[in-house]
Amino acid sequence: SEQTFIAVKPDGVQRGLVGDIISRFEKRGYKLAAIKLVTASKEHLEKHYADLKEKPFFPGLIAYMGSGPICAMVWEGRDAVKTGRVILGATNPLASTPGTIRGDYAIDVGRNVCHGSDAVESAQKEIALWFDKSEINTWKQASHDWVYEK
Ligand code: GTP
Ligand code: MG
């Protein structure tokens, strides 16, 4: 089943939003496959955001993401990548609808609380960057058959 990389950024951790963000994915029916708190190095974050290295905001983004611990997670389930992005809301929080994480908790694009993979291929790359294979759990969710018809 599809997996996505979701992270609570340092502002979300500092603001005490980790539990709420986990809860939204849990309540939706997604399955948590991996989770850890990690303070990422500059080198690691430059790999994670390699596609953005020419952007003017890149140095600020790397500093922000390295400013404290991040809660890194892998969530699994049907359409997890696309639906994960819907749960997060738009990149710019002021364009995010209320009911999304960013639409409920953020204002500034440079402090937008959470990250989610933007495609299945980037999800696979990000999961491999942030987690060792041994950290990814395979388990049957007791609620599975109540979440999915089949
Ligand atoms: P992520 O889930 O973090 O990857 O966000 P995204 O996929 O919605 O947006 P994108 O990958 O294009 O940008 C990555 C991150 O860079 C965003 O989440 C923002 O934190 C930051 N960012 C994007 N655009 C801007 C900008 O115009 N200014 C600033 N200061 N930061 C930006
Ligand atoms: Mg992105």
Asked whether the predicted pLDDT for residue 150 surpasses 90, the reply is: no
The predicted pLDDT at position 57 comes to: 98
Is 15 flagged in the annotation as binding?
Answer: no
Per the prediction, the chain carries an average pLDDT of 98
Question: CA angle at residue 44 from 71 to 122, to 5 degrees?
Answer: 75
Could you tell me the distance, in angstroms and rounded to a whole number, from the CA of residue 115 to the centre of ligand 1? 9
Give the C-alpha separation, 51 to 44, whole Å. Answer: 13
pLDDT for residue 4 is more than 90: yes
Residues 121-144: what's their mean pLDDT?
98
9 in a known ligand binding site: yes
Span from the CA of 142 to the centroid of ligand 2 (angstroms): 32
Active site residues: 115
Band (45; pLDDT cuts 50, 70, 90): very high
Q: Which two tokens stand for residue 19?
A: 């539990």
Looking at the chain, the whole-number percentage of residues with pLDDT higher than 90 is 99
Q: How many angstroms is it from 55 CA to the middle of ligand 1?
A: 10
Residue 77: pLDDT band (50, 70, 90) is: very high
Q: Give tens-digit pLDDT for 80-110.
A: 999 999 999 999 999 999 999 999 999 999 9
Give CA–CA dist 147/149, Å, rounded.
Answer: 7
* Per-chain residues with Cβ under 5 A from ion ligand 2: 118
Q: Give the residues surrounding ligand 1 with Cβ less than 6 Å away.
A: 52, 57, 60-61, 91, 109-110, 112, 115-116, 118
Q: Please write the tens of the pLDDT for every residue from 18-43.
A: 999 999 999 999 999 999 999 999 99
Q: Is 78 annotated as a binding residue?
A: no
The residue whose CB lies within 8 Å of the most ligand 1 atoms, and thus the one to mutate among 70, 91, 101, is 91
